[in-house]
Amino acid sequence: MTMLRTSALIAGLFLSTAARAQTAADARASLARLGIPAAKVAVTLTPAQDARYRVQVARDRVNVTASSPVAAVRGVTQALNRQGRFHAAWEGSRVGALTGLTRQDSGWIVSPFGYRAYLNTCTYGYTTPYWGWARWEREIDLMAVHGVDMPLAMEGQEYIWRALWREQGLSEAQVSQLFAGAPFLPWERMGNMAGYRAPLSPNWIEKKRVLQKRILARMRSLGMTPILPAFAGYVPEAFAKAHPEARIYRMREWEGFPGTYWLDPSDPLFARLAARFLKLYTAEYGAGRYYLADAFNEMVPPIAEDGSDTAHAQYGDSTANTAATRAAALPKEVRDARLAAYGKRLFASIADAQPGATWVMQGWLFGADKDFWTRDAIAAFLRDVPDKRMLILDIGNDRYPGIWKQTNGFDGKDWIYGYVHNYGGSNPLYGAPDFYRTDIAALLADPSRGQVRGFGMFPEGLHNNSLVYDYAFDAAWPSGDMALSPWLTRYMQSRYGSSDPALIAAWRDVVAGVYDTRYWTPRWWNQRAGAYLFFKRPASDAPTFPAEPGDRAKARAGIDALLTLAPRYRDSALFRYDLIDLVRHEASLSLDDHVKAAVAAYQKGDVTTGDRETATITRMARAIDRLIGGQQETLASWIGDARAYADTPAEARRFEQDAKAQVTIWGGAGHLGDYASKAWAGLYADYYLPRWTMYLAEARTAALAKRPVDDAAFTTKLRAWEDRWVADDHAYRAAAPADAVGDARALMAEVARP
């Protein structure tokens, strides 16, 4: 029996044990919420040693036998998907007529993975901070459609942290200044910073407490095994000052934020705090099996005995910072001993407080800072943790592939393979279906993979590129030909209600031109974030911005073909949605070309060309903004969700400003600004365009005066404008255009102009 099969069997034992407490009614209820009447479905749950289902369709009835409610939902929706009768996505759903169904027997469909994991710690900042139960209920049902059974469940923890720190003697004033604003909490939870845009509303904390109970109840009822939070060592500054005798280190200044405080796991306080957190958490939300504790997420471990190395440690995405750390320069035996002790004690703090529990950590750090996390350093950190009591989420294989190979499958530890794909909730169109298919197949065939327990998608943000997630989860639980053409045929039939060779040919061009990109490289460029050049803070280096990934000719050919087919698919709301998204993306790339041309022209003193390009930029940005007014998310909807979460006018204003800050200026003195840049109606016309308009006006003035633009002075002025924009209470509205296809066609004609 292979190692992969063994791990799948172990995972299946836990799933089947949980399934005995669940009922077929849980699966039928999920299907009913998805629009599939309970009368059409019969569900039988049969415990199994792996995740599996079998679907039989006859006489317009769907009968599924499955190992869990999740597997049952996956099986039924996949069967109807294959008959073109069902599709569910972030952008909307389509349920066709459930009569005249073709007879079918799927046979047993067995996932090669024990678990299908989902979500990222950062999703809880970039997407979910203002979600209520209705939105979470929908997302959990969508998880079941994808066969997800191991989601990260990070809501509701501030209620526990507040109780813990109150017990430890922090005053109400200290506690109120501890928590960051709602959209920024993930980075406080991971110890990167503290108190950014504090205080956090007590009403928000209470709503999330109630919400988490409903989330966990629903996840568990469907047979999911949620990953819960645990104590990783970060303590408030007030606590650190109150315990000068403790081994507490001041950590590095992540992205320009003040350094945070980390308690050494060897200090007796660590185990006490960890145990108390889990006791409080369990009393409120129930016990779990998997607990996430990320002690060093983009933070360098203190290796020197006195922790003196932390203040000078450098860390960051290797594209932005490749400097070696002082910590890495310490003697290997010192480093390895300290790292081994950290790993052993972090695990013990969870295992001692929650017997039988498994320590979960994200493996992002191993790829993001290769200067510190060498092969030997990783081995030292993992070596004293029991293999079957640790689970590494190897989330970054689209960005940092092959870490598992360099570590011999993480040296025997259980781990989950997957991709982040989405960074910051930013939404350029990209993803690589064929890469996922071949990459997952190569993993499954590799004898050195070790104890891989599952597959996961770990997006930092949701609501975009749903095709990518549908394909990736299909590849992780295959039940048909995954080659692109047959998969697209099934996908379009289910998503739009019909398909034809011309549609598939158009989408093949779209995939080749747009989606054949596994990582969107322009998101970091010259120390600035932003999905497109138009989303980045303006500067004189704009003309040197590299060409974005993709094949523009194929993309335009595919989009033009879809525009031609639009009358045939005029009744499909999801067809229009996809078409608008593709046109928006291609027009944004064209907009970047005009930005580069305008800045270059002014730098050459060619004011006439610069003015012409500036006029085009203004026209196109406003046209894009109008075109996407009916898409799933807009600046207006994001602000509206934030305000709706409030109980008072003051809260509504505060939540609105935090929401605006998150998608624009958030960060310290580092380069996080525009990291969560969004291709949303409202932002194109009212945020990105004014910034470039201001810069191009400066560039024009400089051209006439035959001098360069003072970028530093402009950035100072721009930051002040951005702060005013966040504080402004301007009301935003968005609406779908009356003739979206006509507007898309007109915009593509603009794109085609030389």
Q: Which one, of 644, 645, 638, lies nearest residue 681 by Cα?
A: 638
Q: Which one, of 193, 139, 119, 143, lies nearest residue 460 by Cα?
A: 119
Task: Give the mean model confidence (pLDDT) for residues 578-603.
Answer: 98
Task: Give the mean model confidence (pLDDT) for residues 587-606.
Answer: 98
Q: What's the mean per-residue pLDDT of the chain? A: 93
Task: Give the mean model confidence (pLDDT) for residues 252-261.
Answer: 93
Condensed to tens digits (0 to 9), the pLDDT of residues 423-454 reads 999 999 999 999 999 999 999 999 999 999 99
CA distance 281 to 536: 41
Q: Name the CA radius of gyration of the chain, rounded.
A: 26
Do the bridges between strand 451-457 and strand 414-419 make them parallel or antiparallel, or are there none, so unpaired? parallel
CA distance 15 to 149: 9
Contact (CB, 8 A) for 247 and 273: no
Say yes or no to pLDDT of 12 above 60.
no
CA distance 350 to 430: 38
Q: Where are the domains of the chain?
A: 3-110, 504-519+531-752
CA distance 70 to 224: 7
Say yes or no to pLDDT of 5 above 70.
no
Q: What per-residue confidence (pLDDT) applies to 320?
A: 27
Task: Give the mean model confidence (pLDDT) for residues 522-546.
Answer: 97
Q: For residue 527, which amino acid is it?
A: Q
Q: What per-residue confidence (pLDDT) applies to 328?
A: 56
**In degrees rounded to 5, what are phi and psi of residue 724?**
-65, -40
CA distance 539 to 38: 58
CATH code of the region 3-110: 3.30.379.10
CATH code of the region 504-519+531-752: 1.20.120.670
Condensed to tens digits (0 to 9), the pLDDT of residues 48-100 reads 989 999 999 999 999 999 999 999 999 999 999 999 999 999 999 999 999 99
Say yes or no to pLDDT of 318 above 90.
no
Whether cis (ω within 30° of 0) applies to the bond prior to 258 is no
Quick one: CA dihedral 412, 413, 416, 420, positive or negative?
negative
Task: Give the mean model confidence (pLDDT) for residues 256-283.
Answer: 97
Half-sphere exposure of 526 (CA within 13 A, CB side): 13
The per-residue DSSP string of 405-433 comes to HHTHHHHT-EEEEEE---STT-----B-H
Q: What per-residue confidence (pLDDT) applies to 305?
A: 64
Q: For residue 332, which amino acid is it?
A: K
CA distance 394 to 419: 8
**In degrees rounded to 5, what are phi and psi of residue 61?**
-125, 145
pTM over cut 0.85:
yes
**H-run or E-run covering 339:** helix 332-351
Identify the band that residue 478 occupies on the pLDDT scale cut at 50, 70 and 90: confident
Q: Which one, of 526, 684, 545, lies nearest residue 617 by Cα?
A: 684
Condensed to tens digits (0 to 9), the pLDDT of residues 123-177 reads 999 999 999 999 999 999 999 999 999 999 999 999 999 999 999 999 999 999 9
